[in-house]
């Protein structure tokens, strides 16, 4: 690749914990290759030097929760050729979107001594609710291997090879014993998108759904199976209401439990 065409990469933060950006820093050896292949032009977590836009690829972490952020994301979109939303916050609102299930004023008055100083939006929303997004990379946090895949795909101008099927495929390939079938542990793996290499079932825990809904999530059937396994409605509701609570399929599943439905 000729020097003058070294692509510029920017990393932006919205309401988030920085975990996804740290996944990029955690790529150690590969990051050297990234640094060789791209000019890291805006990445405050890694360096305080900032290079002017426009940028070839912008990685955006976090959700939009304030009026200021709602404006800033428009600016980020304007200076980015490709905008990739990374992580549960940027793709589905993240854990802070739990506030969407209740009145934000009430929450603020309980949490803050002077809620009048707050300027916050009524709901917490993913990046795609504000601007067009070129790719959404799931996970809380994102998987470093998948992040490198998406980066190299955008740098090479090809489609990222990110699979949208269930976690169960990865779980079985890895040789895990299914916690749902063999232990009776509730697991969201069958309705959750792969990408994490089935970390939780590998430690005999049920999947928490942090990669969000898979391509064709049948949450009603899984909820029925969880009930049959002895889980009550509140537990099933909370299972769907964590990192991707406002991803449409998971939100519908948790709301169905709220109304006491979903009990076949």
Partner 1 sequence: MAPSAPTDYHPVVLDRPGLQSLIDALVTDGRRVIGPTVRDGAVVYDEITQIGELPGGWGDDQGPGRYRLRRRDDDLLFGYAVGPDSWKRFLFPPVSTTWRAEVSREGVEVAPPAEVPRYAFLGVRACELAAIAVQDRVLVQTNYPDRDYAARREQALFIAVNCSSPATTCFCPSMGTGPRVGSGHDLALTEIPDPAGSRFLVEIGSERGAAIAARLATREAAPADREAAAAVWSGAAAAVSRALQADGLKDVLVHNLEHPRWDTVASRCLACANCTMVCPTCFCADFREAASLSPDHAEQHRTWATCFSVDHSQLHGGSMRWTTRSRYRQWMTHKLATWHDQFGTSGCVGCGRCIAWCPVGIDITEEAATIRATDGLTRLPAGATP
Q: Please say which residue, 24 or 222, places its beta carbon nearer to ligand SF4.
A: 222
Residue of the chain from 20, 86, 187, 236 that contacts partner 1 (CB under 8 A): 187
Q: Which does 261 bind (CB under 5 to 8 A by kind): partner 1, ligand SF4, none?
A: none
Query: Least distance (Å) from partner 1 to the CB of residue 53?
Result: 23
Residues 112 and 166: their CA atoms lie apart, in Å, by 40
Count of H helices and E strands in the chain?
12, 5
Which of 48-56, 95-103, 142-150, 176-184 is the region at the interface with ligand SF4 (rule: CB under 6 A)? 176-184
The interaxial angle of helices 248-258 and 233-240, nearest 10 deg, is: 160
- CA separation for the pair 61, 251 (Å, rounded): 21
* Smallest gap from residue 172 Cβ to ligand SF4 (A): 6
171 binds ligand SF4 (CB under 6 A): yes
Instruction: Provide the mask over 135-174, with x wherever binding to partner 1 is found by CB under 8 A and - wherever it is not.
Output: ----------x--xx-xxx-x-----x-xxxx-xx--xxx
Name which of ligand SF4, partner 1, none residue 207 binds, using a CB cut-off of 5 to 8 Å depending on partner kind.
ligand SF4
What residues from 15 to 74 belong to the interface with partner 1 (CB under 8 A)?
Answer: 30, 33-34, 37
Q: Which of 21, 23, 80, 176 binds ligand SF4 (CB under 6 A)?
A: 176
Q: Is 249 in the site for partner 1 (CB under 8 A)?
A: no
Cβ at position 56, least distance to partner 1 in Å: 15
Q: Which two structure tokens, joined as six digits, stand for 190? A: 């069958």
Asked if 23 and 93 touch (Cβ cutoff 8 Å), the reply is: no
- What are the angstrom distances between the C-alpha of 165 and each of 7, 162, 192, 213, 264? 31, 9, 8, 9, 25
Q: Which of 26, 177, 238, 258 binds partner 1 (CB under 8 A)?
A: 177
Placement of tokens 């049920």 in the chain: 206
Please work out the total of residues on this chain that contact ligand SF4, with binding judged by CB under 6 A: 14
The answer to whether the CB of 201 falls within 8 A of the CB of 189 is: yes
- Is the peptide bond between 42 and the residue preceding it cis, with omega within 30 degrees of 0? no
The DSSP output letter for 66 is S
Q: Which two tokens stand for residue 176?
A: 């895990």
Ordered strands of the 80-86 beta sheet: 39-42, 8-13, 55-61, 80-86, 135-137
Which distant-in-sequence residues (6+ apart) come within 8 Å of 226 by Cβ? 186, 235, 236, 239
The binding track of 129-168 with respect to ligand SF4, each residue x by CB under 6 A or -, is --------------------------------------xx
Residues lying near partner 1 in the complex (CB under 8 A): 30, 33-34, 37, 145, 148-149, 151-153, 155, 161, 163-166, 168-169, 172-178, 180-183, 187, 189-191, 204, 214-216, 218, 220-222, 224-225
Residues lying near ligand SF4 in the complex (CB under 6 A): 167-168, 171-172, 176, 178-180, 187, 189-190, 198, 201, 207
């Amino acid at each position: 690749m000729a020097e003058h065409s070294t692509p510029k990469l920017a990393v932006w933060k919205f309401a988030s914990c920085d975990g996804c950006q740290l996944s990029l820093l955690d790529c150690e050896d590969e990051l050297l290759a990234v640094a060789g292949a791209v000019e890291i032009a805006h990445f405050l977590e890694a360096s305080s030097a900032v290079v002017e836009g426009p940028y070839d690829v912008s990685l955006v972490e976090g959700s939009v929760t304030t009026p200021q952020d709602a404006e800033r994301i428009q600016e980020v979109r304007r200076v980015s050729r490709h905008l990739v939303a990374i992580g549960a916050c940027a793709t589905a609102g993240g854990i802070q979107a739990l506030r969407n299930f209740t009145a934000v004023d009430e929450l603020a008055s309980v949490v803050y001594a002077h809620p009048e100083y707050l300027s916050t939006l009524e709901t917490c929303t993913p990046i795609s609710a504000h601007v067009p997004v070129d790719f959404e990379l799931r996970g809380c946090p994102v998987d470093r291997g998948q992040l490198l895949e998406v980066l190299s795909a955008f740098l090479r101008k090809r489609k990222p090879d990110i699979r949208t099927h269930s976690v169960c495929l990865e779980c079985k390939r890895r040789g895990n014993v299914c916690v749902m079938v063999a232990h009776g542990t509730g697991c969201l793996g069958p309705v959750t998108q792969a990408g994490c290499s089935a970390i939780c079932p590998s430690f005999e825990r049920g999947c928490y759904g942090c990669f969000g809904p898979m391509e064709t999530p049948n949450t009603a059937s899984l909820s029925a199976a969880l009930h049959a396994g002895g889980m009550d409605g509140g537990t099933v509701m909370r299972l769907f209401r964590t990192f991707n609570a406002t991803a449409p399929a998971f939100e519908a599943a948790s709301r169905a439990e709220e109304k006491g439905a979903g009990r076949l």
